[in-house]
Amino acid sequence: MNAIVKELQQNETQLREWFEHLHRHPELSMQESQTARYIEETLRSFGAYEIETGIGKHGIVASLKVGDSDKAIGLRADFDALPIQESNDLDYRSETAGVSHLCGHDGHTAMLLAAARHLAETRNFDGTVHLIFQPAEETMEGSPAMIADGLFERFPMDAVFGMHNMPGLELGKLYFTEGDTMAAVDNWEVEITGKGGHGAFPEHAIDPVVAGSSLVMALQSVVARNVAPAHRAVVTVGAFQAGQAGNVIAHSAILRLSIRTTTPEDREMVLGNIRRLVQQQSESFGCTSEIREGVPGAVLTNDPEETRKAAAIAREAFGEETVFEEGPTYLGSEDFAFMLQQKKGTYCFLGNGDTPFVHHPEYVFNQKILPIGAAYWVALTEGYLARQG
């Protein structure tokens, strides 16, 4: 077993306490005030870091300089939760109705906190490490907000690194992929407005539910009949909300879309076709429509050199059998992509084992990987900022 993992396992009780506290008290994107306060208080208890808060609203950067080197890296963890009701019967289950950490951001934060304490105690590196605790990954707002608030100007760094647990990948293994690794996502809200009325008198109304239903089906042709089979894209209507009663024709309907593409050309074409279909389908039923676009998407692209470097450091620390290069790619998305547009770096996956997938009501972050993820952050810092001589 890796020596750093062994050392971190000696404090595993504390690591689990951090994780379980965060899991019990989830907060939605850009609402994470109590989570940010908890992270800040924990970091201050280590007594070693320069801590800046309120970056991009709730973001935190904790910096530690050791030695004389000008080299610096950033390690990033996210800490927002999802608007999903947890179905797990856990001692530490979410205490907030309809909100839960079902993507593992609580685990990501706990791992970086554990690494922070270990680095503060050992100081076995030469340079500066910036620990980036980021809000609002799920809505793709947090990373752009921190960047706009001067993240890379205020905290200069040579490279930035991210990590995500991944169900379906072998427990405790690290996976590295060069180049394009995750899709660009565009989260749109479409509102179709008709004319409300009584369910018994449809001739006096204009039904936005019928228009919306037709739109849902039409959207399925965007990828199937416009994106080359060798490429990858998906258009998902994750929410369709209209009315409250069966005998009432709603005045309007809301559709929430998740649009994922892997090339700039496909993205432009897919979004253009969606705009066209929204307008035409709505008008064909006598309705009007409005599209509210979210943060523009970006493909997550790992720098090949930094990916190979991080994988080599992990291999030296954990052994050949723990590290996989040529790792998987996903149509899932990550706003860490925006950080990688600004700084070279890489984003790896840590196997969560055979569990339900992220965003599933029964997803569980496997606590066995907590010290492994923390050890990766420590090894990466010590390897990247190795002492000379």
Angle at 52 between CA 46 and CA 54, to 5 degrees: 125
End-to-end Cα distance, the chain? 27
Q: Is the dihedral of CA 361, 362, 367, 369 positive or negative?
A: negative
Query: Token pair of 143, please?
Result: 């990373």
Those residues whose C-beta lies under 8 Å from the C-beta of residue 105, and which sit 6 or more positions away, are 77, 78, 79, 80, 81, 137
Those residues whose C-beta lies under 8 Å from the C-beta of residue 224, and which sit 6 or more positions away, are none
- Consult the annotation and say whether 41 binds a ligand: no
Query: Token pair of 292, please?
Result: 């509210």
Distance from C-alpha of 212 to C-alpha of 256, rounded to nearest angstrom: 11
CA atoms within 13 A on the CB side of 148: 7
10 Å CB burial of residue 244 (0-12, 13-18, 19+) is exposed
| 330 neighbors 183 (Cβ within 8 angstroms) | yes
Q: What are phi and psi of 347, to 5 degrees?
A: -130, 120
Distance from C-alpha of 328 to C-alpha of 349, rounded to nearest angstrom: 9
| 75 neighbors 116 (Cβ within 8 angstroms) | no
- Consult the annotation and say whether 103 binds a ligand: yes
- Consult the annotation and say whether 138 binds a ligand: yes
Distance from C-alpha of 122 to C-alpha of 132, rounded to nearest angstrom: 20
How many whole angstroms from its chain centre is CA 147? 16
- Consult the annotation and say whether 360 binds a ligand: no
Distance from C-alpha of 79 to C-alpha of 59, rounded to nearest angstrom: 9
- Consult the annotation and say whether 359 binds a ligand: yes
Distance from C-alpha of 164 to C-alpha of 86, rounded to nearest angstrom: 20
Q: How many CB atoms lie within 10 A of CB 284?
A: 12
208-224 and 264-284 helices, crossing angle to 10°: 150
**Residue ranges of the binding site:** 103, 105, 138, 164, 359
**Residue ranges of the binding site for Mn(2+):** 103, 105, 138, 164, 359
